[in-house]
Structure 1
Amino acid sequence: MKNIYIDDFKISSQINIEKLPTALDLGEDKKDIQKELRDVSERLADIQNTMYAHGKYSVLMCIQGMDTAGKDSLIREVFKEFNVRGIEAHSFKKPTDIELKHDYLWRHYIALPARGKFGIFNRTHYENVLVTRVHPNYLMYENMPEIKSVDDVTETFWDKRFEEINNFEKHVAENGTIIFKFFLNISKEEQKKRLLRRLNKPEKHWKFSPDDLKERKLWDDYQNCYEDLLNRSSKSYAPWFNIPADDKPTARYIVAKILYDTLKTYTDIREPELPAKDKANIDMYKQELENE
Structure 2
Amino acid sequence: MAKKNLSSPLLASWQPPVGNRATAFSLAALDPAAKPWSSGDKEADKARVDALAMELDTLQDQFYADRRFKLLVVLQGTDTSGKDGTLRSVFSRTSPLGVHTIGWKAPSAADKAHDYLWRIHQAVPGAGEMVIFNRSHYEDVLVPVVNGWITPAQTRQRYQQINDFERMLSETGTVILKFMLHIGFEEQRERLQERVDDPAKHWKFSMDDLTVRKQWGDYQKAYQALLRATSTAHAPWTIVPANSKTHRNLMIATVVRDTLKKLKLRYPPSDPRLAGLKIR
TM-score, normalised by the number of residues in structure 1: 0.88
Alpha-carbon separation, structure 1, partners of 2:130 and 2:274: 34
Partner of 1:218: 215
Alpha-carbon separation, structure 1, partners of 2:169 and 2:274: 40
Pairwise CA RMSD of aligned residues?
Answer: 1.4
Match of 1:103 among 104, 111, 115: 115
Alpha-carbon separation, structure 2, partners of 1:213 and 1:132: 18
Q: CA deviation at 1:81?
A: 0.8
Deviation by residue 1:217-242 (Cα, 9 ceiling, x = unmatched): 00000000000000000001000001
Q: CA deviation at 1:135?
A: 1.8
Match of 1:282 among 271, 275, 278: 275
Partner of 2:192: 195
Would you say 1:21 and 2:31 are equivalent positions? yes
Alpha-carbon separation, structure 2, partners of 1:281 and 1:111: 37
Partner of 1:130: 142
Deviation by residue 1:179-209 (Cα, 9 ceiling, x = unmatched): 0000000000100110111111121122111
Q: CA deviation at 1:280?
A: 5.0
Deviation by residue 1:21-62 (Cα, 9 ceiling, x = unmatched): 202232433321111011111111211111111111010000
**Secondary structure class of the residue paired with 1:179:** strand
Match of 1:82 among 94, 102, 105: 94
The amino acid that maps onto 1:264 is K
TM-score, normalised by the number of residues in structure 2: 0.92
Partner of 2:15: 10
Structure 2: runs of 5+ lacking an equivalent: none
The amino acid that maps onto 1:91 is G
Q: CA deviation at 1:247?
A: 0.7
Deviation by residue 1:54-97 (Cα, 9 ceiling, x = unmatched): 11101000011110001001111100110111201111101111
Partner of 2:266: 270
The amino acid that maps onto 2:16 is I
Alpha-carbon separation, structure 2, partners of 1:28 and 1:20: 19
Percent identical among aligned pairs is: 37
Alpha-carbon separation, structure 2, partners of 1:100 and 1:208: 26
**Secondary structure class of the residue paired with 1:80:** coil
The amino acid that maps onto 1:101 is A
Q: CA deviation at 1:11?
A: 2.1
Alpha-carbon separation, structure 1, partners of 2:169 and 2:13: 25
Alpha-carbon separation, structure 1, partners of 2:208 and 2:132: 25
The amino acid that maps onto 2:155 is W
Alpha-carbon separation, structure 1, partners of 2:15 and 2:129: 23
Q: CA deviation at 1:126?
A: 0.5
Partner of 1:92: 104
The amino acid that maps onto 1:167 is D
Q: How does 1:111-190 map to 2 (within 5 A)?
A: 111-137=123-149, 153-190=150-187
Tell me the number of residue pairs that the alignment of Structure 1 and Structure 2 aligns: 268
The amino acid that maps onto 2:208 is D
